[in-house]
């Protein structure tokens, strides 16, 4: 449920823009509302399962997720959809950590590796199938179908879990849950994301923008102070005393910022500019996912052979090349000569990076803290994507707007038509050109809109390439290879 939802929604963004006449900030919030609550509550969700029962909290997450999915499918406007997506994020924060926790508690040591391998295999299959299945549903039924498919899955999960999964909990878990920290980080990240997204429309001088950003800075500062002073923080800051842990999380933040921010715009480019169907756009992402699935075991072996630092330099460098390749296609580009090579190189770069990154995080802490270390790294990766989508939106809208102004100036347009186009620029490539204007002028305007989107898309991809390259430099300079070779099977 969670992995399908994580990949399929981006494919639906173009359909949401069309059906709800939504702006780019609107569809940003469709993704961000989910990511915000999942990121902020992920660590608390894991602690709730340890304390009150992993099966119980997991099933509560499934129930919330499925109810929210139904609300998403029934949404009649973009704001209802955003609210339902936020509720989905709450459910995901309970079920995502619960799934692995149940496996860890249900199998003895000698079987746990195979069980987690099966879990990873199913997540890879659903991650790959999600965009294709979702694209087909969007094209032949409606975007609402991508949320309705969660309902039969939820029913199956409930039946299987109640009949076959035993209840487990951590009997030693007696400390207070860090609800204050969860509230502070939710408000802080929410204010930051709101301020960044709102600034793309109103500018940073707008009162609501600087109030949101100032409030975010205050809440996040208080969050850090609280986490440093309480006994059971959701974010144990002492973990960052380990140099490799800090370096690995810096790398995670930069690399996953590049990945999350850029892949938000890829389906919009494929569907709105390249004129792919939703199914074809979903299938276009398959090489990336399949490479990560098929080569992940090989990539894990690189750590044993070379240590973690070498692949953590080479992997991000390849990812940077992959992002740069995405900047090459223009309008009506051939998939196999343009987007396919970019998908392959990016997939290879991420595959080489992920296993060594996980190993570095795990080996940087003592064995009794690998769970919380993994959770922190996961939360940082999700926070990176959350913030990157907001920031890349600012970059995209700025470059698109300036390019569109330049291109429309070169076209002799009636004043009312230019004003109409200016009012819609917040939609990017979804700007609607009036059908009643002459066909030749319509084509010129459409070319100007698509060309401006491509200009912004290229800028975003070059920024992503820079972030990925910087993450490799961090690995080269900060990671101590002597402390990354002791790999563990989890």
Across residues 228-255, what is the average pLDDT? 92
pLDDT band at 127 (very low <50, low <70, confident <90, very high): confident
Assign 245 a pLDDT band (cuts: 50, 70, 90): very high
- Work out the percent of the chain whose per-residue pLDDT is above 90: 57
Other Cβ atoms less than 10 A from the Cβ of 484: the count is: 27
Indicate the burial class of 176 (C-beta count within 10 angstroms; 0-12, 13-18, 19 or more). exposed
Angle at 377 between CA 376 and CA 382, to 5 degrees: 95
* Whole-angstrom distance, CA of residue 358 vs CA of residue 363: 9
Asked whether the beta carbons of 29 and 197 are under 8 A apart, the reply is yes
- Provide the token pair at 171: 């009997």
Q: pLDDT for 393-416, tens place per residue?
A: 999 999 999 999 999 988 888 888
Q: How many angstroms separate the CA atoms of 87 and 75, rounded? A: 13
* Residue 224 in this model has a pLDDT that exceeds 50: yes
Q: CA 341, CA 273: separation in Å to the nearest integer?
A: 19
Q: How many angstroms separate the CA atoms of 260 and 381, rounded? A: 9
Q: What is the pLDDT of residue 299?
A: 81
Confidence band for 190, pLDDT divided at 50, 70 and 90: very high
- Rounded to whole angstroms, what are the CA distances from 276 to 11, 313, 325, 469? 11, 35, 19, 30
Q: State whether the Cα torsion 325-254-457-281 is positive or negative.
A: positive
First to last CA, the chain: 23
Question: 335-368, pLDDT tens digit by residue?
Answer: 999 999 999 999 999 999 988 888 888 888 887 7
Distance CA 78, CA 196 (A): 19
CA 56 to chain centroid: 27
Q: What is the pLDDT of residue 487?
A: 41
- Name the DSSP letter for residue 328: S
- Measured CA to CA in angstroms, residue 392 lies from 17, 259, 425 at distances of 18, 11, 16
pLDDT in tens, 277-287: 999 998 998 89
Sign of CA dihedral 393, 395, 397, 400: negative
- What is the per-residue pLDDT for 117? 64
pTM: 0.88
Residue range 198-208, pLDDT digits in tens: 998 888 889 99
**Both structure tokens of 317:** 């460098």
- Secondary structure letter of residue 433 according to DSSP: P
Q: Cα separation of 81 and 190, whole Å?
A: 17
Q: Classify the C-alpha dihedral 157-137-75-420 as positive or negative.
A: positive
Share of the chain residues as helix, strand and coil, in percent rounded to the nearest 5: 80, 0, 20
CA distance 95 to 99: 6
- Report the pLDDT value the prediction gives residue 483, as an integer from 0 to 100: 62
Please spell the DSSP secondary structure of 362-421, one letter per residue.
HHTS-GGGHHHHHHHHHHHHHHHHHHHHHHHHHHHHHHHHHHHHHHHHTS---HHHHHHH
Structure tokens at 461: 């991809």
Q: What is the DSSP string of 75-114?
A: -SSHHHHHHHHHHHHHHHHHHHHHHHHHHHHHS-HHHHHH
Query: Distance of alpha carbon 476 from its chain centroid, rounded?
Result: 26
Query: For 187-209, b where at least 16 C-beta lie within 10 A, e where not — what string?
Result: bbbbbbbbbbbbbbeeeeeeeeb
The answer to whether residues 405 and 55 touch, using CB atoms and an 8 Å cutoff, is no
The token duo for 370 is 């690998």
d(CA 475, CA 472): 5
Cβ atoms of residues 51 and 94 within 8 Å: no
Mean pLDDT of 309-334: 94
């Amino acid at each position: 449920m969670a992995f399908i939802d994580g990949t399929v929604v981006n494919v639906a963004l173009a359909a949401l823009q069309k059906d709800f006449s939504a702006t780019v900030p609107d569809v940003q919030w469709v993704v961000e509302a989910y990511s915000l609550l999942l990121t902020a509550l992920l660590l608390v969700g894991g602690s709730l399962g340890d304390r009150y029962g992993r099966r119980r909290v997991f099933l509560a997450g499934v129930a919330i997720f499925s109810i929210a999915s139904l609300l998403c499918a029934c949404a009649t406007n973009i704001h209802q959809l955003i609210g339902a997506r936020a509720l989905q994020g709450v459910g995901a924060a309970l079920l995502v950590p619960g799934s692995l926790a149940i496996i860890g508690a249900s199998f003895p040591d000698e079987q746990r590796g195979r069980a987690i391998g099966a879990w990873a295999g199913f997540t890879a299959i659903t991650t790959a199938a999600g965009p294709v299945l979702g694209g087909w549903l969007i094209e032949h039924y409606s975007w609402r179908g991508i949320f309705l498919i969660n309902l039969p899955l939820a029913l199956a999960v409930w039946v299987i879990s109640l009949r076959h999964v035993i209840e487990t909990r951590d009997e030693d878990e007696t400390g207070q849950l860090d609800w204050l920290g969860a509230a502070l980080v939710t408000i802080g990240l929410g204010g930051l994301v709101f301020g960044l997204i709102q600034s793309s429309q109103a500018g940073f001088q707008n009162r609501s923008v600087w109030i949101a950003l100032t409030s975010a800075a205050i809440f996040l500062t208080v969050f850090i102070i609280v986490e440093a002073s309480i006994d059971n923080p959701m974010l144990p800051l002492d973990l960052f005393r380990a140099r490799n842990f800090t370096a690995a999380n810096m790398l995670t933040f930069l690399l996953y910022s590049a990945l999350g921010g850029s892949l938000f715009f890829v389906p919009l480019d494929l569907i709105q500019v390249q004129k792919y169907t939703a199914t074809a756009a979903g299938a276009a992402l398959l090489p990336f996912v399949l490479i990560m699935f098929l080569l992940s075991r090989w990539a894990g072996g690189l750590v044993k052979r070379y240590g973690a630092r070498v692949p953590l330099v080479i992997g991000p460098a390849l990812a940077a090349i992959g992002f740069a390749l995405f900047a090459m296609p223009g309008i009506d580009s051939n998939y196999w000569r343009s987007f396919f090579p970019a998908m392959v190189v990016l997939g290879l770069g991420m595959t080489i990076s992920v296993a060594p990154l996980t190993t570095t995080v795990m080996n940087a802490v003592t064995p009794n803290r690998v769970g919380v270390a993994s959770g922190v790294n996961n939360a940082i990766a999700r926070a990176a994507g959350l913030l990157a989508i907001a920031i890349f939106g600012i970059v995209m809208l700025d470059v698109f707007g300036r390019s569109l102004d330049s291109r429309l100036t070169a076209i002799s347009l009636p004043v009312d038509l230019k004003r109409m186009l200016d009012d819609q620029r917040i939609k990017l490539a979804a700007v609607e050109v009036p059908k009643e204007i002459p066909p030749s002028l319509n084509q010129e305007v459409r070319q100007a809109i698509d060309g401006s989107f491509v200009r912004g898309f290229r800028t975003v991809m070059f920024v992503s390439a820079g972030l990925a390259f910087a993450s490799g430099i961090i690995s080269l300079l900060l990671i101590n290879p002597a402390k990354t070779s002791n790999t563990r099977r989890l």
